[in-house]
Structure 1
Amino acid sequence: MDFSTKVPRQRSESIVPMINVVFLLLIFFLMTSVIKQPAPFELTPPNADQLRMSEGEMAVYVSNDGMVRFDTFENDIAWQRLKGRIDAKTNVKLHVDASLPAPILAQVMAQFRTVGAANVEIITTAK
Structure 2
Amino acid sequence: MAMHFSRTRRSRINGDDSILPLTNVVFLLLIFFMLAGSLASPQAFDIQPPVSQSEAQARRDGLEIQIAADGEIAIDGQPIELDALEERARDALEADPDLALRLKADGDGDATRVVAVMQALRDAGGHKLRLITLAPE
Which residue does the alignment assign to 1:52?
57
Report SS of the residue matched to 1:47: coil
1:29 Cα shift?
A: 7.2
The secondary structure found in structure 2 opposite 1:107 is helix
Displacement of 1:28 after TM fit?
5.3
Q: TM-score, normalization: structure 2?
A: 0.64
1:38 equivalenced with 2:42 (yes/no): yes
Matched, 1:86 2:93: yes
Deviations 1:10-35 (A, max 9, x none): xxxxxxx9xx769626515736x763
Q: What RMSD in Å do the two structures reach over aligned CA positions?
A: 2.9
On the 8 A contact 1:82/1:115 being kept in 2, the answer is yes
Equivalent residue letter for 1:80? E
Structure 1 SS opposite 2:45? coil
Q: How many percent identity over aligned positions?
A: 22
Give the drift of 1:56.
2.7
Number of corresponding residues? 110
Q: Which 10-residue stretch deviates more, 113-122 or 97-106?
A: 97-106
1:81: Cα distance to partner?
1.6
Unaligned runs of at least 5 residues, structure 2: 1-19
Residue type of the partner of 2:33? Answer: L
- Quote the Cα distance in structure 2 between the aligned partners of 1:35 and 1:43: 18
TM-score (normalizing by structure 1): 0.69
CA distance in 2, matches of 1:57, 1:63: 19
TM-aligned CA deviation for residue 92 of structure 1: 1.2
